[in-house]
């Protein structure tokens, strides 16, 4: 067998890298959504101090390079906290925080897009602030925000490729390994690019169907 020939083991390595990328994307998306929505609720309820801190953190995260954030977490956080941090843990923290920052911006914009007259009308009818949020604001805000959220998720999927620089054996790292071994960059990176493209199309398709259902349930034409 020649040095640059592809083997069955390469396919297993590729699937392993794909699994790592998908798992980290799913985990950071879930965590980022929870944190970002929690920050948006702090702003909605105008919680003193915490709302301002959330806004400041989101501003810093969304306006700084993800790669710099990744290096700060992976190399700086262990020194600051005097603890060990694996590459996967550093990637999880960084991408979750970055996703949360953009989810916060989208959620705040979506909430503010709901007309104030609807909120005031809900209060006139005796709904509490929580009931107004759950029954009036949230359904419409979700319909407004799902489009930008779809774009964010597709972008964050591509951003996961950066984690290979700190040693996470994701899809991009596997591509680099195969490229060095086979010396066939066109074939290797074409396959890697196609896999990212297919994953992005899948995410966009799932989100588009979900958005259509949300718009139907929130009576989009009347919003």
Q: What is the pTM of this model?
A: 0.87
What is the chain's mean pLDDT, rounded? Answer: 87
Residue 2: inside a domain = no
Q: Quick check: 184 pLDDT over 60?
A: yes
Q: Quick check: 199 pLDDT over 80?
A: yes
Token representation of residue 159 = 């951003």
Give the range among 112-121, 145-154, 178-187 with minimum mean pLDDT. Answer: 112-121
Q: Quick check: 32 pLDDT over 90?
A: yes
Residue 33: inside a domain = yes
- Range of 176's domain? 9-222
Helix axes 8-44, 50-62, angle to 10 degrees: 140
The closest alpha carbon to 89, from 35, 39, 31, belongs to: 31
Burial of 149 (C-beta count, 10 Å sphere; 0-12/13-18/19+):
buried
pLDDT given for residue 3 in this prediction: 62
Residue 3: inside a domain = no
Residue pLDDT, tens place only, 60-114? 999 999 999 999 999 999 888 888 899 999 999 999 999 999 999 999 988 887 7
The gap from C-alpha 77 to its chain's centroid, in whole angstroms, comes to 21
Token representation of residue 111 = 């909430």
Residue 15: inside a domain = yes
Residue 1: inside a domain = no
pLDDT given for residue 121 in this prediction: 74
Residue 198: inside a domain = yes
pLDDT given for residue 112 in this prediction: 82
Token representation of residue 108 = 């705040």
Percent of the chain with pLDDT over 70: 94
For 69-101, what is the HEC assignment? HHHHHHHHHHHHHCCCCCHHHHHHHHHHHHHHH
**What confidence tier does 173 reach under pLDDT thresholds 50, 70, 90?**
very high
Domain count, the chain: 1
The CATH number of the domain where 66 resides is what?
1.10.3720.10
Token representation of residue 105 = 């911006």
Cα 190 to Cα 171: distance, rounded to the nearest angstrom? 12
Residue 187: inside a domain = yes
Q: Which residues have a Cβ under 8 Å from the Cβ of 158 and sit 6 or more positions away?
A: 196, 200
State mean pLDDT over 110-134.
Answer: 75
Q: Quick check: 218 pLDDT over 80?
A: no
Cα 113 to Cα 101: distance, rounded to the nearest angstrom? 19
């Amino acid at each position: 067998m020649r040095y640059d020939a592809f083997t069955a083991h390469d396919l297993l390595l590729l699937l392993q890298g794909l699994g790592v990328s998908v798992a980290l994307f799913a985990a950071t998306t879930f965590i980022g959504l929870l944190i970002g929505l929690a920050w948006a609720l702090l702003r909605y309820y105008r919680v003193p101090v915490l709302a301002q801190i959330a806004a400041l953190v989101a501003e810093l995260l969304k306006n700084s390079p993800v790669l710099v954030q990744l290096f700060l977490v992976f190399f700086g956080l262990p020194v600051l906290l005097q603890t060990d941090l694996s590459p996967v843990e550093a990637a999880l923290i960084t991408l979750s925080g970055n996703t949360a920052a953009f989810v916060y911006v989208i959620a705040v914009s979506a909430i503010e897009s709901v007309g104030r007259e609807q909120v005031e009308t809900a209060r006139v009818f005796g709904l509490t602030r929580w009931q107004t949020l759950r029954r009036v604001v949230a359904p419409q805000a979700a319909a407004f925000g799902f489009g930008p959220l779809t774009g964010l998720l597709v972008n964050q999927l591509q951003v996961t490729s950066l984690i290979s620089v700190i040693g996470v054996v994701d899809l991009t790292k596997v591509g680099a390994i195969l490229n060095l071994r086979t010396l066939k960059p066109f074939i290797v990176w074409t396959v890697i690019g196609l896999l990212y493209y297919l994953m992005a199309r899948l995410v966009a398709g799932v989100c588009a169907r979900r958005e259509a259902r949300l718009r139907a349930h929130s009576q989009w034409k009347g919003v």
